[in-house]
Amino acid sequence: MPSRLIVSKELAELLRLIAHPDRLRLIEELRHQERDVSGIATALDLPSTRVSQHLASLKAHRLVQERREGRNHFYRLTRPAIAGWIVEALEFLDVPSPLEDGSHIDRVRELWADDTSKSSS
Amino acid sequence: MPSRLIVSKELAELLRLIAHPDRLRLIEELRHQERDVSGIATALDLPSTRVSQHLASLKAHRLVQERREGRNHFYRLTRPAIAGWIVEALEFLDVPSPLEDGSHIDRVRELWADDTSKSSS
DNA sequence: TTCAAATCTGCAAAAATATGCAGATAAGGA
DNA sequence: TCCTTATCTGCATATTTTTGCAGATTTGAA
């Protein structure tokens, strides 16, 4: 099999894994620190079962690693750089909004960074 | 709706669009030059109907733009930088192979670059 | 006109994902 | 041991995607 074919399959698999709103936010959540399941569930406002399911698939593909401490399971990104790489993609987003000028990208980054309505403690 | 929620949805949509082996190769194919449907179909060894379908979805999300010349439809990347961004992701790939050392990433890049078995003219 | 080449569109069947829930585990404490 | 908390697993159902085809369009040429 042509090599690029192999790599494109692997890459597509990785991208599909990431291509889910919850999982994107989850990865962002782990960008700077490890977290346990319920911590993530609270931060993202999702049922912890769902978070656990997402973590299981991320873990199966070795995107995250687990560390158990008592009854809590802490997760962290195996390669934290992936979070930065994801943020770079914001640049390629069309914002379906009135802002079609150059400040576009800044606007998107701002929206991504803005978590005031959720994780503001 | 919390802003990050909006952005994560948009981003997931973009990633899902890209997360397909054929479409990844297709984007790579358009990285440096525009191509018409049958040119792409030949290069990727896919039925041109399929290529056309992929292009239609990429176009719907404005990832590619079309230019018609006679009966040929040429496509090019709206934001060519996206191809470079995709290549960066190779770094995050686990190669399920004997090479678990540091040359890992180089090996993946090499596999991606290697199209000798297909588009070697 | 008529034909052929290049591409597109619509649809149905197949495959892959996501989601919600019930029940299973694992660990700490009374 | 029994209970509670934190997390995981297995399933059935719902939703999305992918694929292959048959049948349109569009354009250029005879």
C-alpha to C-alpha distance for A103 and A91, rounded to whole angstroms: 11
- Whether A74 contacts A35, CB under 8 Å: yes
Q: What is the pLDDT of residue B69?
A: 95
**A·B CB contacts under 8 A:** 144
Query: For B11-26, what is the mean pLDDT?
Result: 97
Residue with tokens 């030949």: B42
The minimum CA-CA distance between A70 and chain B, rounded to whole Å, is: 30
CB-strand contact A67/C, under 7 Å: no
The minimum CA-CA distance between A84 and chain B, rounded to whole Å, is: 11
The pLDDT mean for chain B works out to: 88
Query: For A60-67, what is the mean pLDDT?
Result: 96
Q: Report CB contact under 8 Å: A92, B86.
A: no
Q: pTM for the whole thing?
A: 0.88
C-alpha to C-alpha distance for A23 and B12, rounded to whole angstroms: 9
Instruction: Find the radius of gyration of the CA atoms of chain B.
Output: 16
CA-to-C1' span, A42 to D7 (A)? 14
Burial degree of B34 (CB within 10 A; 0-12, 13-18, 19+): middle
C-alpha to C-alpha distance for B2 and A79, rounded to whole angstroms: 27
pLDDT in tens, A33-52: 999 999 999 999 999 999 99
pLDDT in tens, A1-31: 668 888 999 999 999 999 999 999 999 999 9
In this structure, which amino acid lies at residue A119? Answer: S
B113: chain A residues, CB-CB within 8 Å: 4
Whether residue A109 has pLDDT greater than 70? yes
Q: Report CB contact under 8 Å: B85, A86.
A: no
The pLDDT mean for chain A works out to: 88
**Which of strand C's nucleotides are less than 7 A from any protein C-beta?**
5-10, 17-23, 26-28
Q: What is the pLDDT of residue B111?
A: 82
